[in-house]
């Protein structure tokens, strides 16, 4: 079994858990209201959502499935070796346009700034939330690696350096590095948070439950990055970002935490590029 195939099994299992188990089970339980409590209301609204949104959400998921299929036939390292700053910037712009579908399908029902909670009166909390989030991610990541996940992945699927890491390590193109950093720290967090926490999470919450939706979108978030080594921490991070969104009611919270996480990763990669650690 290859790494791509294992990611595919997790991907299909996640989708099966939602479409074949979660949706039918919660539909049945809701028809028998005495068997299940309604979703915890929290601060993420689901009332503007309609069955059409389940179709649109399925379209997003189909796009991610297509991306997984395509990734199996493309050598990512070779593709990135041919990339330039314009290609990276263009790809980031496409992702932002892809995410822009969400406010477009929502604006006639509710203003996007209200749906996403962009007018966040308690925004100062972000100065406490971000460091706590980053420390939590590092602690959980360390625990996962201590439990042997890295050894399992490297032992069964090899220890190749990720294409993006290798590219940053080797390139001397300043414009390319600037485009990659901008895409990772600005473009990707905004696009991904609009899609995953801003839309897929409330849609899943409306038709299942708060915790089921957080787990489903968290694992889905981890899977679509197509990185087996990082899958557990990304999945848990996705769940934490959904909980954070639910607690604050503002999409700014997960966006800024996501930016900080990606920024921290880019900092470490650049640090190791210019100050390499001697091999033991």
pLDDT tens digit sequence for 189-227:
999 999 999 999 999 999 999 999 999 999 999 999 999
Average pLDDT over residues 57-67: 96
C-alpha triplet 210, 249, 24: angle, nearest 5° = 20
Distance from C-alpha of 40 to C-alpha of 144, rounded to nearest angstrom: 30
Q: Would you state the pLDDT for residue 42?
A: 80
For 172-194, what is each residue's pLDDT tens digit?
A: 889 999 999 999 999 999 999 99
Q: How confident is the model at residue 92 (pLDDT cuts 50, 70, 90)?
A: very high
Distance from C-alpha of 250 to C-alpha of 198, rounded to nearest angstrom: 9
Average pLDDT over residues 242-251: 97
Distance from C-alpha of 209 to C-alpha of 250, rounded to nearest angstrom: 19
Q: Is 233 in contact with 209 (CB distance < 8 Å)?
A: no
Give the SS3 label for residue 111: coil
Average pLDDT over residues 136-149: 96
Closest Cα to residue 67, out of 182, 226, 272, 227? 226
Q: CA–CA distance from 101 to each of 1, 87, 215, 274 (Å)?
A: 36, 22, 24, 40
Q: Would you state the pLDDT for residue 114?
A: 94
Q: Would you state the pLDDT for residue 161?
A: 57
Euclidean distance between the first and the last CA atom of the chain, given in angstroms as a whole number? 32
Q: Would you state the pLDDT for residue 35?
A: 58
Place of tokens 């209301």: 41
Closest Cα to residue 59, out of 195, 153, 190? 195
Q: Would you state the pLDDT for residue 32?
A: 79
Q: CA–CA distance from 105 to each of 53, 57, 170, 199, 251 (Å)?
A: 8, 11, 42, 10, 17
Mean pLDDT, rounded, of the chain: 91
Distance from C-alpha of 6 to C-alpha of 68, rounded to nearest angstrom: 11
pTM comes to 0.93
Q: CA–CA distance from 65 to each of 19, 99, 192 (Å)?
A: 14, 16, 16
Q: How confident is the model at residue 280 (pLDDT cuts 50, 70, 90)?
A: low
Average pLDDT over residues 70-97: 83
Q: Would you state the pLDDT for residue 39?
A: 60
pLDDT at 276 over 90: no
Average pLDDT over residues 99-113: 93
Q: How confident is the model at residue 171 (pLDDT cuts 50, 70, 90)?
A: confident
Q: Would you state the pLDDT for residue 54?
A: 96
Q: Which has more pLDDT, 124 or 73?
A: 124
Q: How confident is the model at residue 113 (pLDDT cuts 50, 70, 90)?
A: very high
Distance from C-alpha of 255 to C-alpha of 257, rounded to nearest angstrom: 6
């Amino acid at each position: 079994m290859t790494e791509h195939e294992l990611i595919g099994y997790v991907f299909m299992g996640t989708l099966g858990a939602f479409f074949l188990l979660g949706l039918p089970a919660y539909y049945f339980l809701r028809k028998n209201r005495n068997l299940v409590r309604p979703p915890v209301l929290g601060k993420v609204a689901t009332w503007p959502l309609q069955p059409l949104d389940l179709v649109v959400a399925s379209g997003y998921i189909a796009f991610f499935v297509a991306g997984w299929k395509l990734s199996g036939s493309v050598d990512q390292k070779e593709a990135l070796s041919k990339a330039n700053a314009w290609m990276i910037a263009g790809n980031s712009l496409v992702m932002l346009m892809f995410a822009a579908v969400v406010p477009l399908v929502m604006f006639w029902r509710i203003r996007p700034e209200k749906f996403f909670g962009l007018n966040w009166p308690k925004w100062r909390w972000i100065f406490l939330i971000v460091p706590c989030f980053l420390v939590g991610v590092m602690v959980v990541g360390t625990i996962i690696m201590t439990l042997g996940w890295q050894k399992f992945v490297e032992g069964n699927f090899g220890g190749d350096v990720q294409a993006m890491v290798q590219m940053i390590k080797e390139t001397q193109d300043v414009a390319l590095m600037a485009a990659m950093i901008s895409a990772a720290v600005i473009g990707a967090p905004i696009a991904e948070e609009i899609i995953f926490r801003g839309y897929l999470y409330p849609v899943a919450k409306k038709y299942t439950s708060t915790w089921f939706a957080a787990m489903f979108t968290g694992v889905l978030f981890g899977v679509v990055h197509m990185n087996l080594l990082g899958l557990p921490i990304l999945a848990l991070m996705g769940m934490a970002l959904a909980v954070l969104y639910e607690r604050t009611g503002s999409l700014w919270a997960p966006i800024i935490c996501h930016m900080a996480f990606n920024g921290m990763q880019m900092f470490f990669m650049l640090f190791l590029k210019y100050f390499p650690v001697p091999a033991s």
